[in-house]
Amino acid sequence: MPDNNESNLAATGSVVMSRRNVLLSGAMLGGVALMCGLGAQPAAANATISGASAVSGPRKLGSLNVSPVGLGCQWLPGPKEGVVTDFYTSTLERGEAIRLIRSAVDSGVTLIDTAEMYGPFVSEDIVGEALQSVRNQVYIETKFGGDIDPDTGKMGDRGMNSRPEHVRRAVEGSLKRLRTDHIDLLYQHRVDPTVPIEDVAGVVRDMMAEGKVLNWGLSEPGIQTIRRAHAELPLAAIQNEYSMIWRGPEAEVLPLCEELGIGFVCWSPLGMGFLSGKMNADTRFGDGATFDLQAGGGTFDFRALVPRYSPENLRANMALYAVVLKWAQRKEAAPSQIALGWLLAQKPWIVPIPGTTKIAHMQQNIGAASVIFTPDELKELNSDIAAVKIAGARLPAEEEHVVGADTPPRK
């Protein structure tokens, strides 16, 4: 998500997280990605346009025609009142967050992503305040699915909760915080392994009939759950992690989306800052961090828990960044623009949603829609990427078994 150019070394500490909180924190990452690191990069802010059809036009997610690049808004309570923090130690004042969102809208971004779980509630409240006066200019997507008390924000013991009565209460809370009478795209944040997806679709259908939800989607579901959900109530989008450093969706999810006519939204399109040049072979995130989902206290850098960014794996994975940097120099673009432009070139229904704490980075990010690869260039770039074997898993072990899960059959 946001950048943190001040230091490559995260504060050290011990990981103080219950298994439930690890699962929740992993799910919280599902709406955003890091857009950061402008050092040691080509000076150009926008890529050279050459040779192929433009990717800058709107992209279709269900009934929505959205900007090719969205904005992820994922914040937790910060170290003091009026300050919020992301998952990577960056902070900003609430007013700055509001200005960032408004600047994105002014710059042509029409898809704003958030979730009740981010905070919890904090990010939705900021998004609602920022967009209140321009609501008719943007599409808001948010997510339900955590076992969060809709009144207090306290986390329950179930981890995920998509019981229909809970979903309805969660969505009513989101509508209130977002200061709107409808949600343009509503996702189930993670599959609830105890609730058939048909039951979830049923309550969403009811809210659609009431005009409170316009489209729905799933985040990190299993393949069979996608098929069953879409058969019950057509899906507008799947939101999964996808980037040059994690190409897992290419095996089954993207082909299924193409088969069924479902859009695809990418969280972490910049690999938590890796693809934008924030890290180097010597970057360390410490041994972990103290973290409190309820209070937002302590310093937390999620990357300390991610195997692919361990010291030995990060050093090996720098080969991929060398590919990105080579292409950035060739196309006279920033590395982040190459990474996002590559995603946009994969399919016309793919929409990345990077986040940031800096307006300049946001503007650079949306400039990725000007990155054009000819068919031959794209083939060459794909070959360069495929030649790098990525070391380490994309998520902590506790989260790995949650993503890609299927729901039980309806009885």
Catalytic pick among 88, 118, 139, 309 = 118
Q: Three-state DSSP class for 362?
A: helix
User: What CA–CA distance (Å, rounded) separates 153 from 355?
Assistant: 23
H-assigned helices in 49-155: 94-106, 122-131
Question: Which of 245, 241, 244 has the alpha carbon at shortest distance from 253?
Answer: 241
Q: Three-state DSSP class for 9?
A: strand
Bridge partners for 196 per DSSP: none
Pairing of strands 350-352, 263-267: parallel
CA separation, residue 249 to residues 15, 218, 244, 258, 350 (Å): 30, 14, 11, 12, 12
Nearby residues of 259 by Cβ (< 8 Å), 6 or more positions away: none
User: What CA–CA distance (Å, rounded) separates 332 from 241?
Assistant: 27
The burial of 399, by beta-carbon neighbours within 10 Å (0-12 exposed, 13-18 middle, 19 or more buried), is given as buried
Question: Which of 185, 163, 164 has the alpha carbon at shortest distance from 174?
Answer: 185
H-assigned helices in 50-116: 94-106
Question: Which tokens sit at 268?
Answer: 């972490």
CA separation, residue 230 to residues 146, 207, 210, 221 (Å): 22, 17, 20, 12
Nearby residues of 250 by Cβ (< 8 Å), 6 or more positions away: none
Contact, 280 vs 273, CB < 8 A? Answer: no
Phi-psi region of 83 (alpha: psi -120 to 50; beta: other; left: phi over 0): beta
Q: Three-state DSSP class for 77?
A: strand
Q: Say whether 309 is catalytic.
A: no
Residues marked active site are found at: 118
